[in-house]
Amino acid sequence: MIGIYKKLRTKRIPIHNSIHVTEAIIVEALESCYAHTAFSTFPYYFENLDSEQAIKQTNSGNCVALSMYMRNYLKDKYDINSCLIPATIPDKYSKPEYLTISHVALAVPISGGKYFIADPAFYFLNPILVDTDISSSNIVFSKNIYTPESSSDLKKYFSLDVVITKTQFTPVDIKLNKWQTIPANIFLSTCYTKGEDNDTWHYFLCEIVNPDEAITEYFLKFQEPFITSTEGDDNKIPQMNFYLKIKDGKISYSKNLENKEVCDVTTISRQEIDKINSDLSVFFRGKFKDYLANLN
């Protein structure tokens, strides 16, 4: 198992923005990501794509790919510079095989030594504000897309998590394990979900140079083929659209978390394949039958 891990490579964030970057622009980029992409392992498993290729060719991928979508969106539409940063995850999402750094997000420099951090894979609704001049705290919201809402009244939503964040500084190197060291003299944002104070995670303000090599490659070793697509509700809050997973020779499939269907990989009908290809056409591009044929 040791051979599957690769050394994390980072560098100081080399970019800045001379234009005014607002929270509203970052929220817009998050909403675009949720409307047009899907969290998926399919492009890696069945097309051997890296994250840059995956998000461009299939509009899908893991946390690396979704952060790249936001990076490209901000650059193309607003000429805003941003970069991918390494992160940990809460224990509730971790697996024993994961290294400490198993996630990435997007950092956007703004004026006055401040940064926005956006995390599309955690379905953030607004970005973290990191002020490197002070030990600041703020609140962001994330959406549990696996919990459907029955009301369009935001005050009645029960699937929104309140995330408490705090800016910190590390004056020395942090050696997390044999493969991962966070360099000295950088800021980080430490987070926890309200009510889960002991389950913290961290975003480190340094650029990750090799996200696929350091994270995606080992992440895929412990994941089955799956895809989760989202759409905005009446309030532009992301909600589950389609979900599909292949495990132990079975295909689980649902729309909006309703009417879950389970079928065998070897006996799935042509009609069912065509339906999945139609529903997920933006991401699969008619290739679902090919994917099934290439299952190991």
Q: Round to whole Å and give the CA distance between 118 and 88.
A: 14
- 184 plus 157 within the same structural domain: yes
- 208 plus 121 within the same structural domain: yes
**pLDDT at position 296:** 66
- 104 plus 202 within the same structural domain: yes
By the 8 A CB rule, do 109 and 81 touch? yes
- The position carrying tokens 């759409």 is 231
User: Residue 213 half-sphere exposure, CB side, CA atoms within 13 Å?
Assistant: 10
- 75 plus 174 within the same structural domain: yes
| pTM, rounded to two decimals | 0.96
Query: Which residues does the chain have with pLDDT short of 50?
Result: none
Q: In total, how many domains does the chain have?
A: 2
- 60 plus 107 within the same structural domain: yes
pLDDT tens, residue by residue, 114-138: 999 999 999 999 999 999 887 778 9
The last residue of a domain, from among 219, 246, 276? 219
**pLDDT at position 175:** 97
- 23 plus 155 within the same structural domain: yes
CB neighbours (10 Å) of residue 235?
A: 12
**pLDDT at position 73:** 98
- The position carrying tokens 């969290």 is 39
The domain of 88 spans: 2-219
- 210 plus 255 within the same structural domain: no
The last residue of a domain, from among 192, 219, 246? 219
- 78 plus 165 within the same structural domain: yes
- 65 plus 133 within the same structural domain: yes
Q: Round to whole Å and give the CA distance between 26 and 74.
A: 8
**pLDDT at position 136:** 75
- 158 plus 23 within the same structural domain: yes
- The position carrying tokens 């961290």 is 202
The last residue of a domain, from among 195, 219, 243? 219
- 197 plus 236 within the same structural domain: no
CA nearest neighbour of 148 among 227, 239, 39: 239
**pLDDT at position 137:** 83
Q: Round to whole Å and give the CA distance between 256 and 13.
A: 39
**pLDDT at position 239:** 96
236-240 long-range contacts (CB < 8 A, ≥24 apart) are: 236/31, 237/125, 237/143, 237/149, 237/154, 237/157, 237/160, 238/31, 238/34, 238/123, 238/143, 238/145, 239/143, 239/145, 239/148, 239/149, 240/145, 240/146, 240/148
- 206 plus 237 within the same structural domain: no
